Amino acid sequence: MLRPMPSLCVQTLRNGLYPCLRRSTPLNTARLQRHLASTAKPTESAPLSPVDRIMQTALTLVPEYGWTRQAVEEAVKRLGYPPITHGVCTNGPVDLIDYFLTQSRLRMLQLLNVDPSQAIAEKPLQSLSTRDKIYLACKARLQLTMPVVDRWQEAAAILAQPSNLPVATKQLYALTDDIMYYAGDRSADMQWYSKRAGLAGIYTTTEVYMTEDRTPQHEATFEFLNRQLDDVESVQSMLSSVKLMSSFAARSAFNVLVSTI
Amino acid sequence: MLRQRLVRGLWSCSRVQAPTLPGLSARWQSTSTTTESADSLAAKYSKYQTSLREIWPRLNDRQKELLSSMLRVNQAGEIGANYIYMGQHAVFRSNPKLGPLIEHMWEQEKKHLYVFDNFIGNNRVRPTMLRPMWVTAGYMLGLGTALVGKEAAMACTEAVETVIGNHYDDQLRELLKIDHPEVENLRQIIKEFRDDELEHLDTAVEHDAHQAPVYRGLSEVIKQGCKVCIEIAKRV
């Protein structure tokens, strides 16, 4: 991204901006990600890097401009950086969405009093049941989407594009894994997969519901979330009784079979 | 004789329910009568309680991936081993000599699986995705060789434990590169488990593993199969 520019301009940019731009090779998303992960510490007092400042300003402009390059360009203009700096979004809008999702997830963990810098810290949320912890976490995360809820359908459409599938799955995996882990899930068998897949389904449908929800404070959304989580519980108990029934049936069938041999 | 074995094998197959293994959820365990409660298991294996909490944030991406794939493949291997012994046990349960022997080895494999399951759950490692495959493959291998005969069952044990022993040795060498008390702790656990596996190997040889029909071929096929499984388990 920086390569084709005249060297003078590159020099100015490199010296003028934060070390993350002082690179000889073009920024790629992976690097941006790593950088974001390293600067995403919850310490409010530490000065933000230019990338964070640009992205966060751009996010405040999303309701006006949508998930577009214009939002980033406008943010760059307002912060007084050279106009070319909007190139921090190497992949365009999807980088902005990716940034939003990462930040919201970390903020959610902060809201739940979990320290994200410690990847495997073990702090019980509160003395809540697992289901309530999941509900609380989803609610906290959904509330972070509220400021951009009118534009969220556009983001969902962008994330649904096949080329953006890696970003979408990565973010959904990170979110559900965080929620399940901090809700106290320690399963190490196939339930690990089924629980995360189930939660991903519930969360995404609730998010879609929220974009259409016009009730004050999105009350209907949280009721919807509650219902979904209750449904899972009833399905689980139903499945276990079906399992019990079928094992009885299998045994009696086997007994009949053995008696005929 | 064969019909008796077959019926017994099939009978226990119909009773293969996951609850008979440790490391499953409390609700599942409660439906089973044979397993101990989660608390008593935790107390029994408390000396294997260990974590990677301190070292984890200090590892680089490659080391993290290496450690998680190690734990994942160990978990997969122990699942397979558990079900191999379950299959053998189904056939030799009432054999006065082999029954208790297989039970003893199975008991040790249960311990190994419990420890790795716990380790994975507590350290946020993604568990193995092909669990149902390891369960079926392990059970079919154990049951199949046991139905051929006692010697074939022992040859199967010998082949599997040889590969697992070598595999644990590779891991121990790899873990030596990370110097930290927590990793040292993990090494000690793997070391102990490797010794258990090698003990099973010796037991199998003592019980006429080498007298099995087409011993060479059988042993080679199982060994290669195990190696393929290890490579798959490392990745998914």
Among candidates A188, A193, A240 on the partner chain, residue whose Cβ is nearest the Cβ of B121: A188
pLDDT at residue A48, as a whole number: 81
pLDDT at residue A202, as a whole number: 94
pLDDT at residue A138, as a whole number: 92
Tens of pLDDT along A37-68? Answer: 444 444 455 678 888 889 999 999 999 999 99
Q: Are A177 and B123 in contact (CB under 8 A)?
A: no
Q: Are B80 and B128 in contact (CB under 8 A)?
A: no
In a domain, B53, yes or no: no
**Residues of chain B contacting residue A115, judged by C-beta atoms under 8 Å apart:** none
Q: Residue B113's closest CA among B98, B91, B128? A: B128
CATH number for the domain including B102? 1.20.910
In a domain, B8, yes or no: yes
Q: With an 8 Å Cβ cutoff, are A188 and B127 in contact?
A: yes
**pLDDT exceeds 70 at position A190:** yes
Which has more confidence, B203 or B57? Answer: B203
pLDDT at residue A128, as a whole number: 74
Number of domains in chain B: 1
Tens of pLDDT along A103-126? Answer: 999 988 888 766 555 444 444 555
In a domain, B93, yes or no: yes
Q: Please, which residues have CB within 8 angstroms of residue B36's CB and are 6 or more apart in sequence?
A: B22, B44
pLDDT at residue B107, as a whole number: 92
Segments forming the whole domain that contains residue B168: 2-12+65-235
**Residues of chain B contacting residue A179, judged by C-beta atoms under 8 Å apart:** none
In a domain, B133, yes or no: yes
Cα–Cα distance for residue pair A144/B234, rounded to 1 Å: 37
In a domain, B82, yes or no: yes
State the residue for tokens 């990462």.
A102
Cα–Cα distance for residue pair A115/A135, rounded to 1 Å: 19
How close is the nearest chain A Cα to the Cα of B131, in Å?
7
**pLDDT exceeds 90 at position A199:** yes
CA distances from A114 to A51, A172, B19, B59, B175 (A): 25, 19, 33, 21, 30
**Which whole number is the average pLDDT over B57-77?**
90
Q: Residue B160's closest CA among B101, B107, B88? A: B88
Which has more confidence, A19 or B217? Answer: B217
In a domain, B80, yes or no: yes
**pLDDT exceeds 80 at position B219:** yes
Q: Is B21 left (phi over 0), alpha (psi -120 to 50) or beta?
A: beta
pLDDT at residue A252, as a whole number: 83
B118: nearest CA in chain A?
A188
Among candidates A120, A189, A251 on the partner chain, residue whose Cβ is nearest the Cβ of B131: A189
The listed range with the strongest mean pLDDT (A69-73, A105-109, B157-161, B180-184) is: B157-161
What is the ipTM metric for this complex? Answer: 0.76
Q: Six-digit token pair at B60?
A: 């680089």
In a domain, B70, yes or no: yes
In a domain, B42, yes or no: no
pLDDT at residue A256, as a whole number: 83
Among candidates A120, A190, A261 on the partner chain, residue whose Cβ is nearest the Cβ of B132: A190
Residue B7 near chain A (CB below 8 Å): yes
